[in-house]
Amino acid sequence: MKPNPSADSKISELISKLWIDERTRALFVEFTLYNPNLNLYSSVTIVFEFSSPGGITTSFLTFTTPLSDYSSDKEIIKLLFEIIFFLFTFFLSYIEVKRIRQMGFKLYVKRFWNQVSMFVVILCIIGISIFIERYLIISQVMNQYREGHGKTFVNFNLAILWDNIFIYIMALLTVFAFLKFVKLLMMNRKLHYLYSMVEYAKVPLKYFAFMFTISLIAFASFGNLLLGTVMSGYKSFGDSFMTLIECTCKINNYNQYIDLQPVIGPIFILLYIFVFFFCFMKMFTAIVLNAMKILKKKGVKHDEDTALLMNYFIDNVKRMLR
């Protein structure tokens, strides 16, 4: 494949102006791609690192996301839903502030579901703030892109960064909103029994979660140090952490441990399986069975599902009308 004349001339210009010479240690190549069919922007950064002996190490980073500037009909519909989200946030904030004033902050935060509601409101407010900042940056970047008619380089990294942050905040908000939905599901007797079981076992479960997390972090660090140079799944701590989480569900490719590290690789993954599948799972099972035993002794009773659900809605309506 013949080199691109414009790219070749750019490199020649950098060399002639002494931007690239024998003392250069890294070269960054940044460009942005756009897919009009899917309305996706991809910001690509390729890094060429030059070592002292003369070798070249390459790495790349790609972020792909739709950058909405509300210029199409579909995005206008999306804007309407976002406005509804803003109104819902203001209403929910008013309700929670009213509860705090009625109950007092100390009593309010003692209840778990109040904490969930508070986190939902906080995340909504943070999401709105990030949304506004994201919209301003995207508008600025898109204006620069249109003014240059696609002939000048426009850095989309900042816009994509804020867009990704907004997505992460919305994902976290979804988790807490789902917890609120779980509260409704607990009107079902079986789910309420499960919730009661977790309540009785919450102290040992906290210790279990702490031990599980610490052990997972330790194995991730160990895997990164042990296999990071030969396996892409362990090249960084984050990659190692995610690989081990995937291995908790299933081992994707056991043969790669044998091929790349014939001795250390299998020992590492088998030790991980033994600790997490046998030791931790037995601990978790023992905690759950003990909680079930306590519930059976105490004989937890439940009302009818429909009555519980109706009482819940009536109480909430009364609380909002106060």
Q: What is the mean pLDDT of each run of 10 residues along the chain (322 residues)?
A: 61 80 82 81 86 78 76 77 88 87 85 84 91 86 78 80 87 85 68 72 87 91 85 83 80 72 84 86 86 74 49 55 53
**Does the domain made of 21-65 have the CATH classification 2.40.128?**
no
202-295 fold: Helix Hairpins (1.10.287)
Residues with Cβ within 8 Å of 77's Cβ and at least 6 positions away in sequence, in order, are: none
Joined together, the tokens standing for residue 308 give 């519980």
- For residue 240, which phi and psi values (nearest 5 degrees)? -65, -40
Residue 234 CB coordination number (10 Å): 24
Residue with tokens 């696609």: 150
Query: Using alpha carbons only, how large is the chain's radius of gyration in Å?
Result: 27
- Rounded Cα distance, 287 and 201, in Å: 7
- Rounded Cα distance, 107 and 115, in Å: 11
- Rounded Cα distance, 81 and 128, in Å: 13
Joined together, the tokens standing for residue 237 give 């701590």
- Rounded Cα distance, 134 and 162, in Å: 5
Q: Is the pTM of this model over 0.75?
A: no
- Rounded Cα distance, 19 and 23, in Å: 10
| pLDDT value, residue 306 | 46
Contact 60, 45 (CB under 8 A): yes
Contact 287, 208 (CB under 8 A): yes
Of 198, 227, 71, nearest in space to 135 by CA: 71
The strand pairing partners of 58, in sequence order, are: 48
Contact 73, 67 (CB under 8 A): no
Contact 123, 93 (CB under 8 A): no
Of 98, 161, 173, 160, nearest in space to 128 by CA: 173
Contact 228, 240 (CB under 8 A): yes
